[in-house]
Structure 1
Amino acid sequence: MKPLQLQQELIAYAKSIGVDKIGFTSAAPFRDLKNKLRIQQELGYQSGFEESDIEKRTEPKLLLEDAASIIAIAVAYPSKMKNAPQGKRGARRGIFCRASWGTDYHTVLREKLALIEAFLKEKVPGCRIRSMVDTGELSDRAVAERAGIGWSGKNCAIITPEYGSYVYLGELITDLPFMPDEPIEDQCGDCTLCLDVCPTGALVQGGQLNAQKCVAFLTQTKGFLPDEYRGKIGNRIYGCDTCQTVCPKNKGKINWLHDAFQPDPEIAKPLLEPLLTISNREFKEKFGHISGSWRGKKPIQRNAIIALAHFKEEAALPTLIKVFQQDERPVIRGTAAWAIGKIGGDGAKEVLEKGALIEKDEEVQFEIQKGLDLLLAQK
Structure 2
Amino acid sequence: MGFVDDCVMSKPAQGAKFDLSSLIIDLSEQLPDPQPIVRLWGNLIASRGNISAVVGLAKSRKTFLTCTVASGFLADVEFLGFDTPAVGKIVYIDTEQARAHVHKIARRILRSIGLPTDRNHDKLIVAALRELTPDQRKEATAEILRRYKPDLLILDGVADLCNDPNDLHESEALTCELMHWSSEYDNHILCVLHSNPGGDKARGHLGSALLRKSETVVLVKADGATSVVSPQYCRNEPFTEFAFQIDANGLPEACGLPVPQPKEDVFAEVMERGKVYAHSELVALIMGAADLKEGSAKSKISRAVKAGLVVKNQAGGYYLPGSQIEAAQSEFSDEPF
RCO higher in structure (CA 8 A, sep ≥6): 1
What TM-score do the two structures reach when normalised by structure 1? 0.25
Question: Between Structure 1 and Structure 2, which shows a larger proportion of strand residues?
Answer: 2
1 or 2, which has the higher helix percentage? Answer: 1
TM-score normalised by length of structure 2: 0.27
